[in-house]
Amino acid sequence: MKYSPITEDQKQDILKDIGIKNVSTLFEDLPNNKKVDINLPPAISELGLRKTLTSLSTKNNCDYISFIGGGSYDHFIPSVIKHLISRSEFYTAYTPYQPEISQGTLRAIFEFQSMICELTGMDIANASMYDGASAIAEACVMTFQATKRKKVLLPNSIAPNYIEVLHTYLDPKDIKIDLFKSDIFYLFDEAKFISLLTEEHCSIVLPYPDFFGNIINYKNIIKKAKDLGIAVIFLYDPTSLALLESPGKLGADIAVGEGQSLGLATSFGGPALGLLSAKKSFLRSMPGRIVGKTNDKDGNTGYVLTFQTREQHIKREKSLSNICSNQGLMALSATIYLAYMGSKGLRRVAEMCYKKCSYLKDGISKIPGFQILNQNPTYKEFLVSTPINADSLLKTLKKEGILGGINCSKYHKVANNTLLISVTENKTQSELNSFIDTLKKVTSKKL
Amino acid sequence: MKKPELIFDYSAKNKSAYSLPPDFLPQITLDPIEKIDLLRSDRPNLPEVSEVDIVRHYTNISKLNYGVDDGIYPLGSCTMKYNPKINEDLAALEGFLNIHPHQDPEDCQGILQIMYELEQYLCSIFGFASFSLQPCAGAQGEYTGLLIMKAYHKKKGNSHKNTILIPDSAHGTNPASVTGVGWKIKTIKSTPEGTVDIEDLKTKLNDNIAGIMLTNPNTLGIFETNILKIDKLIHDLDGLIYWDGANANAIMGYAKPTDLGFDICHLNLHKTFSTPHGGGGPGSGPVGVVQKLVEFLPTPKTIYKNSKYDLCYNNPNSIGKLHSFYGNVNVLIKAYCYIRTLGANGLKETTENAVLLANYMKTKLSKHFDISTKGLCKHEFIISLKNEKKEYGIKALDVAKRLIDYGYHPPTIYFPLIVPEALMIEPTETETIESVDGFIETMIKIKEEIKTEPELLLNAPQNTLIGRLDEAKAVKEPNLKRS
């Protein structure tokens, strides 16, 4: 039988050794209250499976030039990553609870923690969370644990799907989300935000950049937050940190990110990679696995899962998070990506994301009827108001082989003709020009 | 010269690996960022290495690991079965890797079909009415399931119901998840055999009980034969019964949890359904429910309407989203492939062979070790070294470390907590009789060593790059990143 190598003869010998007549004896203690009927398609061979899945994969259409972002990005992924994470010693291994035979995994996690701290300017990082959304949720819980204050203030310039996940994690714990809405949804009203800060807030979440690509200097907010004892949580884009000042230098207490941009495919949204790092005062309340460096009795350096008393297998109902398996292999992918890029390569990626974004903004702003809505510099994404209905514009662009972006009216009721357009380093000049020309072409007919 | 240990050790000034196209926009400056004082003032200290350094480093450190592809991995409760290679290849097809979560459903018909069909398959195998594939791991599945239970009770006006019963043999994530949703726990004692003590359970019943979380077969590898009695006790209080499906490998084709009275469950695709463990993920923890709980499942749901697959967001009573998108989708593809490969008969045989091999090992090892289960077990069993500890001063940890010297990954140790000096063994059905015999022989040899040369165990492992690590020092002098 597929994957189970015991032969029928061996089965008979095993039954004799156990001292039973047939296999059904092993299941006699189950109530035979109902007959078990499993209705599945008949088993197929490897050849049949390959044909079936290949056919299914062709029913997904990725054959476009895509300008869709919104929390998942189409970056350049170096080939070395898949070769290295395909080594079975990495991907078929279990959690490194036995460090003597898991130094591969443990060293890689230690490298990952180190690199995330370098990028974010924070003191400590863990081995990963499920995704950026659950990572912010756990960060909010950390700040609640530290202060016992029951409110979190966050602007609605954070990705809408993240806000939904935050509710799922925080509502059951009676941690209230104060959702701040600027009068114009894409223009962050700093003064109004500051006026809402109170000593009832355990933390604020500051997106960096925000959902609309805005790069904002939050220094006034951070100062007021610190005066009121409110923890500052930055939600950052990891590639942007090669170009932008680190959350640590800006005064973040906790820095959270989505690591999909670090060498992971878009993959219909998952697996993703939650990044969590913080000041060292949060060490005992940080969820997830943490690897530390130590040695054996002969002085040989070794890496080991540490501070395990925070975790569920020890603290059980007293643990601050239930997380067990996380996104280990994706953290390894990100580690290899960051080693491949180095700070110079990552800076190049970030500069290209920024510049190509500027170039596209500039080109689109010159098309009659289009207006760039951002007033801040932008990273990797920007908002455009369109002269025609955004949905029908996207439909027309699709026929030309272009995925033009995300229609913001999905998330913000006022934004009927607003497109969120994303540009990464992987776009060529001709692809950018082709997008601009096509936009011009399809809207000039309609005006 | 010191041997390189971390990728950073390969760094040299101006070494690089990256290959990126030239900048065709030199005229665009970074001034706007500088003007708002946000230009990076320092350089993150990342490695400066070449591509060949990267390949050598990760290749070398991978050899310090032990995976299922290296040998038997008898970790009880983890179901470390073989990860089929064809599934890795197929999940990596371009059409699966490059699809964007915000694309129109009409462009995603392939992946949506897989998600829809996988849900149907899981419903058929386990009896539930509907599954959400969104949770990324068993723990997130438990959290999701408990939120669904909370939503059900809220709708029924059962606001006084705030307590979940959990056996003392449960996996740590169970009580941790209950706390996470803001509920309380009452622990049920186990009998000396290791099953739920139904008399103790009865004393803990009251109107505040929202439900019970059970693993069945339980964490000792024993089937809870009182399950139907337990069902009645809980359902009579309008409580819900949650199945921790970590041990699903032991019942496929022989029982459906819904026939055993379970209302809600999570599965671990990275256990039962052969998706790789990854050194700590990514896994997947789908949550299944009976009909009365369907309305509370996470949003969106995958549907099939007018001959098209789609994502439906119109779920007013849903508990919400757990994940930014749809869960660990690429992992789901591998589980789908596995089920298509095995079919119903294959899954039943999987369960049969998993339980056969466990009983084979148990029969052979029971002549040398104290095993808590006297009769037949399911897919795993526990050895207790409490006698060896008393007589020879040898603990479960010492046996585990000595197994490493013989080239084996040790079984699970010190879980469940109710068995002293526990060593939990689960071979899974993907082992050959030869590899199982090899492990048995080694355990018998180690038993001899316990009596005649215990220092071999106390000093183990000696055949690895490093010996036992000073874990106390790792806490006293935290060194959590490269300085």
Q: Which of B38, B43, B186 to mutate to test the interface with A (most CBs of A within 10 A)?
A: B38
A70 and A97 housed in the same domain: no
Residues A215, A324: Cα–Cα separation, whole Å: 34
- Structure confidence at residue A435 (pLDDT): 98
Residues of B in contact with A294 (CB under 8 A): 469-471, 473-474, 477, 479
Summary mean pLDDT of chain B = 96
pLDDT tier, B348 (very low <50, low <70, confident <90, very high otherwise): very high
A138 and A182 share one domain: yes
In chain B, which residues have their Cβ closer than 8 Å to the Cβ of A88?
67-70, 83
The pLDDT assigned to A414 comes to 64
What is the full DSSP assignment across A59-97? TB---SEE---TT-------THHHHHHTSHHHHT---S-
Residue B390, pLDDT > 90, answer yes
Note the pTM of the prediction, 2 decimals: 0.97
Q: Cβ–Cβ of A43/B342 closer than 8 Å?
A: yes
Q: Report if residue A13 sits inside a domain.
A: no
DSSP A42: P
Please tell me the predicted confidence (pLDDT) of residue B277: 97
User: Is B62 within 8 Å of A90 when comparing Cβ atoms?
Assistant: yes
Q: Which residues of chain A have pLDDT under 70?
A: 33, 413-415, 446-447
Of B58, B196, B348, whose CA–CA distance to A104 is shortest? B58
pLDDT at B342: 98
Using a CB-CB distance cutoff of 8 angstroms, which residues of chain A are in contact with residue B270? 325
What is the separation of C-alpha B315 from the centre of its chain, rounded to a whole number of angstroms? 29
Is A110 in the same domain as A244?
yes
At A415 the pLDDT is 61
Shortest CA gap B175–chain A (Å) = 4
Query: Which helix (H) or strand (E) element contains residue B352?
Result: helix B329-365
Q: Residues B421-437: what's their mean pLDDT?
A: 97
**Binary contact (B320, A322; C-beta < 8 A):** no
What pLDDT does A409 receive? 84
pLDDT of residue B467: 96
**Burial of B465 (C-beta count, 10 Å sphere; 0-12/13-18/19+):** middle
User: From the CA of B439, how many Å to the nearest CA of chain A?
Assistant: 16
**Nearest-by-Cβ selection for A6 from B37, B40, B353:** B353
Closest CA to B47 of B19, B10, B20, B5: B10
Pairwise CA distance, residues B63 & A414, whole Å = 56
Of the residues A316, A338, A360, which one is the last residue of a structural domain? A338
Q: Do A84 and B55 touch (CB under 8 A)?
A: yes
Chain A residue closest to B179 (CA)? A317
Q: Which of B178, B364, B429 is closest, CB to CB, to A4?
A: B429
Domain residues for A427? 65-74+343-444
Q: How many CB atoms lie within 10 A of CB A429?
A: 12
For residue B417, what pLDDT band results from cuts at 50, 70 and 90? confident
Of A90, A114, A130, the CB nearest to B279: A90
CB distance B46–A115 less than 8 Å?
A: yes
d(CA B408, CA B429): 18
Task: With a cut of 60, say whether residue B51 has pLDDT above it.
Answer: yes
* Residue A237 burial by Cβ neighbours in a 10 Å radius (0-12, 13-18, 19+): buried
Q: Which residues of A touch B97 (CB under 8 A)?
A: 265-267
Beta bridge partners of A214: A378
Interface A-B, measured as beta-carbon pairs within 8 A, has a size of 646
Indicate which of A234, A317, A335 best probes the interface with B, i.e. most B CBs within 10 Å of its own CB.
Answer: A317
> Based on the domain organization, do A408 and A437 belong to the same domain?
yes
* Chain A residues touching B478 at Cβ < 8 A: 283, 292, 306-307
Instruction: Give the three-state DSSP class for A203.
Output: strand
**A277 lies in a domain?**
yes
Which residues in chain B have their CB less than 8 angstroms from residue A113's CB? 480-481
> How far is the C-alpha of B411 from the C-alpha of B382, rounded, in Å?
10
User: Of A49, A62, A131, which has the smallest distance from its Cβ to B90's Cβ?
Assistant: A49
Question: DSSP state, A367?
Answer: S
Do residue A40 and residue B138 have CB atoms under 8 angstroms apart? no
Distance separating alpha carbons of residues B253 and A351, to the nearest angstrom: 56
Give chain B positions within 8 Å (CB) of A41: 340, 343
Contacts of B209 (CB under 8 A, 6+ apart): B161, B163, B164, B165, B186, B234, B237, B239
Neighbours of A384 (CB within 10 A): 25
CA diameter of chain A: 85
Q: Does the distance separating the beta carbons of B356 and A15 come in below 8 Å?
A: yes
Asked whether residue A318 falls in the same domain as residue A352, the answer is no
Contact A49 B86 (CB under 8 A): yes
* Chain A residue nearest residue B78, CA to CA: A94
| pLDDT (tens digit per residue) in B20-33 | 999 999 999 999 99
* CA distances from residue B468 to A309, A314, B18, B439, B442 in whole angstroms, order as listed: 19, 20, 38, 22, 21
Residue A26 lies in a domain: no
- Contact check, Cβ <8 Å, A313/B253: no
pLDDT score, position A447: 52
The CATH number of whichever domain residue A402 belongs to comes to 3.90.1150.10
Determine, for residues A43 and B461 on separate chains, whether the beta-carbon distance falls below 8 Å: no
* B332 band by pLDDT with thresholds 50, 70 and 90: very high
Asked if residue A22 belongs to a domain, the reply is no
Q: Shortest Cα distance from A316 to chain B (angstroms)? A: 5
The last residue of one of the domains, among A338, A353, A388, is A338
* The pLDDT of residue A266: 98
Chain-chain contact of A1 with B346 (C-beta, under 8 angstroms):
yes
Q: Do A359 and B28 touch (CB under 8 A)?
A: yes
Q: Are residues A328 and A374 located together in one domain of the fold?
A: no
Choose the closest CB to A325 out of B104, B281, B471.
B281
| Domains, chain B | 7-57 (no CATH), 86-342 (3.40.640.10)
How many structural domains does chain A have?
Answer: 2
- Residues composing chain A: 447
Residue with tokens 């979440």: A205
Which residues are CB-contacts of A16 (< 8 A; sequence separation ≥ 6)?
A: none
> Which CATH number do you get for residue A326?
3.40.640.10
My answer on whether A254 and A402 are in the same domain is no
Which tens digits make up the pLDDT trace of B132-191? 999 999 999 999 999 999 999 999 999 999 999 999 999 888 999 999 999 999 999 999
Left, alpha or beta for B280 (phi > 0: left; psi -120 to 50: alpha)? left
Q: How far is CA B459 from CA A223, B407, B462, B463, in A?
A: 55, 16, 7, 10
Tokens standing for residue A291: 């690897």
Chain A residues within 8 A of B252 when measuring between CB atoms: 38
Residues A332 and A440 in one domain: no
Residue in chain B closest to A272 (alpha carbons) equals B328
Please state the three-class secondary structure of A213-278 as a single string: CECCCCHHHHHHHHHCCCEEEEEECHHHHHCECCHHHHCCCEEEEEHHHCCCCCHHHCCCCEEEEE
Query: Is A19 a member of any domain?
Result: no
| Per-residue pLDDT at A446 | 59
Compute chain A's Rg from CA coordinates. 26
pLDDT given for residue B47 in this prediction = 98
User: Are residues A388 and A370 in contact, defined by beta-carbon separation less than 8 angstroms?
Assistant: no
Q: How far apart are alpha carbons B165 and B178 in whole angstroms? A: 10
pLDDT at site B172: 87
Domain membership of residue A21 (yes or no) is no
Q: Quick one: average pLDDT of B409-437?
A: 96
CB contact under 8 A, B5 and A301: yes
Chain-chain contact of A94 with B54 (C-beta, under 8 angstroms): no
Is A55 part of any domain? Answer: no
The C-alpha of B430 sits at a distance from chain A's nearest C-alpha, in angstroms, of 4
Residue A10 lies in a domain: no
Tokens of A3: 């994957």
Which of A293, A316, A338 is the last residue in one of the domains?
A338
Nearest CA in chain A to B469: A296
Q: Give the pLDDT score at A1.
A: 73
- pLDDT for the residue numbered A314: 80
Regarding whether A354 and A330 lie in a shared domain, the answer is no
**Rounded CA separation A411/A426 (Å):** 27
- Amino acid (1-letter code) at residue B350: T
d(CA B242, CA B231): 10
Please give the average per-residue pLDDT across B345-372, as a whole number: 97
Measured CA to CA, the distance from residue A195 to residue A190 in angstroms comes to: 9
CB within 8 Å: A345 and B44: no
- Nearest by CB to A296, from B73, B110, B466: name it: B466
- Locate all alpha helices (DSSP H) within B185-316, ordered by sequence: 198-203, 227-235
More confident residue, B469 or A410: B469
Do B220 and B416 touch, CB atoms closer than 8 A? yes
Considering the domain architecture, whether residues A319 and A367 belong to the same structural domain is answered as no
Q: Could you give phi then psi for residue B473, rounded to 5 degrees?
A: -65, -35
Q: Which residues of B touch A81 (CB under 8 A)?
A: none
In the chain, the amino acid numbered B43 is R
Our measurement of the distance from residue A99's CA atom to the centroid of its chain's CA atoms, rounded to an integer in Å, reads 28
For residue A151, the model assigns a pLDDT of 98
Would you say residue B74 has pLDDT above 90?
Answer: yes
- Identify whether residues A163 and A181 lie together within a single domain: yes
Using the beta-carbon criterion (under 8 Å), do B101 and A268 form an inter-chain contact? Answer: yes
A253/chain B closest Cα distance in angstroms: 17
- Mutate which: A322, A360, A375, A403, vs B, most B CBs within 10 A: A322
> Mind listing the pLDDT tens digit for each residue in A409-437?
877 766 679 999 999 999 999 999 999 99
Q: How far apart, in whole angstroms, are the C-alpha atoms of residue A93 and residue A104?
A: 10
Residue B402 pLDDT greater than 90, yes or no: yes
Of A313, A324, A425, the CB nearest to B138: A324
Task: Please give, rounded to a whole number of angstroms, the shortest distance from the CA of A206 to a CA of chain B.
Answer: 14
Contact B356 A243 (CB under 8 A): no
Q: Report the residue of chain B nearest A345, measured CA to CA.
A: B18
From CA B243, how far away is CA B258, in angstroms rounded?
Answer: 9
Which two structure tokens, joined as six digits, stand for B82? 């073989």
- The predicted model gives B255-262 an average pLDDT of 96
Query: Terminal CA-to-CA distance of chain A, rounded, Å?
Result: 66
Do A389 and A315 sit in the same domain of this protein? no
